[in-house]
Structure 1
Amino acid sequence: MAGPPLEELLTRLAGGPELAPAELVRISPTQWSELDRRATHYRLQPLLHRRWGESASVPELQRQTWASAYRASAISALAHKAELVAIAELLARAGIEAIALKGSWLAWHAWPDPALRPLRDLDLLVPEDAVLHARDLLLGHGYGEFGTEGLAPELWKQRYHQLAPLVSPGGVVVELHHRLWIEDWRTPQLPVDVFGRVIPDPQYPALNYLDPVDQLCHLAVHAAVHGFDGGPLMLADFERLALAHSIDWAAVWDRAAAEGWDRVAGLAIEATRRWTSKGAAILPPSPLPVPPEIIENLPLLLAKPPERIAADQTAARLARTDIGWGEKWRRALARRERHDTLSPWLGWLGGELRNAIAARLGGDTGRGAALVAQLNRYLSAQKP
């Protein structure tokens, strides 16, 4: 008898509904190797160490790998926290407000151990009229800049919701945001006055975080816009957020409806209720209906092979039926404006073509792309 698909196995290993002993013993060595490969990409190894490090049902090789990843994550967490505090204090001395986003709050204030919630980078929200000054300040203190695509910082600010990444002298990557998310057909309006609702860090006064409801909104929009391809940690973050705060859910739904993010909130909450161990007990059901087939098949997005992420997104864009091919081509041409020269745009266009071919040829990729397309149709209905 075949066991659950790998995507479901990884989602459940990372904190979803408990796997029965009979399900664990059916996982082959080849499957364990693939699960570990995906866990590496989705930053799950430290969490798997905490949950399964003493389990004889998991091969010794995997347990040793996860233990090593946990130790490395603990060291990395110390470096990230030191850099985060240093940046906040540097900006504060210059009179620049900054809010630490997502994992920068979650790792130290929602998770029981910051090593369980590894960070790829530090995300900070800075007022739009101060973000270029903040960039210059960091560059003047030894930071480097990469991935600019040949664009001047003023054009980055105009075209994106964040500036090109920076890297500290110690190797920590930092992204300065001037908007919480990209504004397109999938996203609700940006919340107003988030700087007026910040929560200061109790230990470091210069360090601020989003208000709990703003955090919920930001995490929900981020997960949905990225097609839940950030991995099972996305849902674990919702679970941890709900455990860390006492939330007035009636007020949440009133505000979400008024600001147009009730659909993404409902999607995130129903996904967390279904695919985390405590979600159903701590989160009330969404008052808005969410397509059950999206929720039930969400592991196909949460834990897909990393190399299929781009192919699924491309295939979903091509599969949209609410806009014609003329508009799709116009949007592809419009992306040319993001690049100062022709070569990077041609590289992007070639990548889209390769992704479309991969989606057409891959059966599992096709299923994932169809689910992303369904998710995008659901999100597009939230726009006024």
Structure 2
Amino acid sequence: MLRLLGQRQLQKDLNVLSAVQWRNILQIADQHRTLALIHGRLERGEIEIETPTDIREELRKAHRESALTALAHRAELFSTVELLRSAGLETVALKGASLAWYSYPAAAERPLRDIDLLLQPEQALAAFNLLREHGFVQSDPSALPAEQMVGAAKHLPPLTSPSGIEFEIHMHAWEPPGSTEWTMPPLMDERIFSDAQPAGPGDPCRYPKPYHMLIHLVVHAAYSHRFDVGPLVLSDIGFLLDSHSIDWLNFWRDADQGGYANGAVLVLALVQKWISNGQIGWLGAPAKPPAEVLNDCERLLVQNLAQRKNVGAAAAIINAGKAGGIGELGRRLKAKLSGKQRGVFASDTMQREKYLPWLFRRGASFAASMTAPESRSTAAQMARVGQYLSRQK
């Protein structure tokens, strides 16, 4: 699928795809939200391989539906931002909310799973409660009540608007120190928030400036998610670089000082390989990553998303064992089995999942996943990428 999202020269050996191959591509593309993007590229002549009529029709339908959804998201985003502003709560809309409308050729080609709004930490809970007062619902239980998450988590529990669109109220653009099992780059929320820019007339939102958007995409893909975010991140960065100039010397200097240089070189090497040449300045960058690590990242980008939770847990355990030996491995397994991440608190009533049913359900899911060769292989790939990201200079 990666070959259909970027450079034409990568499509040369895809001149003819069988019906079964097209169906497999559509299945993967649907899971990774790239159906509408593939349609747009076909219409613009950026994909030159022969495409069956029924496949084109499915892609056209997906593009149309995505366009309607994009309009609904945009309307809900605008009204929500204006509601919060009326209460003195300023926001910055992250990632796709900006990219879809201001970087991509068409907003339909960049579907959103949810809308992320960054607020000052001291205002996040007020925003969360205000939205609940206006009919937003926390449909899934969380491990902690919202008020206890403000000082420790990246965002509060997701809320679903009355029209069915999911929002996340963020205190941070990425995970704060101590909230993950691995080291994250230092937070830069104040810079992102203070430098955020309005988009123009008719749009009430503020968005990260392009430089900070690039940093956020890199950290989100590499450090927050170990490349299980799907291939849209490569297109996100490709279209962002098409529409904005980046001061690359400053970028690599900041990446080095901010502790995300290894992640940046991985992400941008993939962007250059698959999406675009000539937009990325490498002066001041770290050495290019080993080919085997890049191959691991590529496979993680297009993995079966249904396995992500179990694969991530397995990769964390693998890395813990390698870093701290059998003792650390045992400690990490014990922590995983403690049940502290069970969903307990919901929006209106406490919904507790009993420990033993949770342990049986989670353990059975994990065991079933890890008996599958594909899942074990993916966990090993994620563990190797994690080790590369944690390397010191």
Contact 1:199 1:209 in 2 (8 A): yes
Residue in 1 aligned with 2:300?
301
Which of 71, 75, 78 is 1:85 aligned to?
78
Task: Label 1:150 to 1:223 Cα distance change in 2 as closer, same or farther (>3 A).
Answer: closer
Matched, 1:283 2:280: yes
Letter in 1 for 2:240: L
CA distance in 1, matches of 2:298, 2:28: 12
Over residues 318-339 of structure 1, what are the superposed CA-to-partner deviations in whole Å (9 max), with x where a residue is unaligned? 3221132133124325651665
Matched, 1:15 2:19: no
CA distance in 2, matches of 1:294, 1:205: 41
Matched, 1:236 2:247: no
Equivalences for 1:1-384 in 2 at 5 Å? 10-16=1-7, 18-20=9-11, 22-25=13-16, 27-52=17-42, 57-149=50-142, 151-183=144-176, 184=180, 185-193=182-190, 194-204=192-202, 206-224=204-222, 225-276=224-275, 278=276, 280-285=277-282, 287-289=285-287, 290-320=289-319, 321-323=322-324, 324-333=328-337, 336=340, 339-340=343-344, 341=352, 343=354, 347=358, 350-351=361-362, 354-362=365-373, 364-381=374-391
Greater Cα offset, 295-304 or 170-179: 295-304
Task: Label 1:205 to 1:344 Cα distance change in 2 as closer, same or farther (>3 A).
Answer: farther
Greater Cα offset, 164-173 or 120-129: 164-173
Task: Label 1:152 to 1:309 Cα distance change in 2 as closer, same or farther (>3 A).
Answer: closer
Give 1:217 deviation, angstroms: 1.5
CA distance in 2, matches of 1:192, 1:77: 27
Contact 1:187 1:379 in 2 (8 A): no
Is there any run of 5+ residues in structure 2 with no aligned partner, and where? Answer: 345-351
Give 1:291 deviation, angstroms: 2.6
Contact 1:314 1:356 in 2 (8 A): no
Give 1:153 deviation, angstroms: 1.7
Contact 2:140 2:343 in 1 (8 A): no
Over residues 124-162 of structure 1, what are the superposed CA-to-partner deviations in whole Å (9 max), with x where a residue is unaligned? 001111111101111222222211237422133344311
CA distance in 1, matches of 2:290, 2:9: 24
Give 1:255 deviation, angstroms: 1.6
* Secondary structure, aligned partner of 1:347: helix
CA distance in 2, matches of 1:15, 1:355: 35
Give 1:307 deviation, angstroms: 2.8
Give 1:16 deviation, angstroms: 4.9
* Secondary structure, aligned partner of 2:168: strand
CA distance in 2, matches of 1:300, 1:186: 23
CA distance in 2, matches of 1:345, 1:233: 38
CA distance in 2, matches of 1:377, 1:219: 20
Give 1:375 deviation, angstroms: 0.8
Letter in 1 for 2:69: S
Give 1:346 deviation, angstroms: 5.5
CA distance in 1, matches of 2:212, 2:356: 35
Task: Label 1:274 to 1:21 Cα distance change in 2 as closer, same or farther (>3 A).
Answer: closer
- Taking structure 1 as the reference length, the TM-score comes to 0.88
Is there any run of 5+ residues in structure 1 with no aligned partner, and where? Answer: 1-9
- Count, aligned residues: 370
CA distance in 2, matches of 1:217, 1:348: 37
* Secondary structure, aligned partner of 1:336: coil
* Secondary structure, aligned partner of 1:112: coil
Contact 1:85 1:204 in 2 (8 A): no
Give 1:356 deviation, angstroms: 4.5
Task: Label 1:344 to 1:206 Cα distance change in 2 as closer, same or farther (>3 A).
Answer: farther
CA distance in 1, matches of 2:119, 2:4: 37
Structure 1 vs Structure 2 CA RMSD: 2.4
Percent identity over the alignment? 32
Give 1:272 deviation, angstroms: 0.8
CA distance in 2, matches of 1:195, 1:214: 10
CA distance in 1, matches of 2:113, 2:292: 31
Residue in 2 aligned with 1:3?
none
CA distance in 1, matches of 2:8, 2:358: 42
Give 1:105 deviation, angstroms: 0.8
Letter in 1 for 2:3: R
Contact 1:274 1:295 in 2 (8 A): no
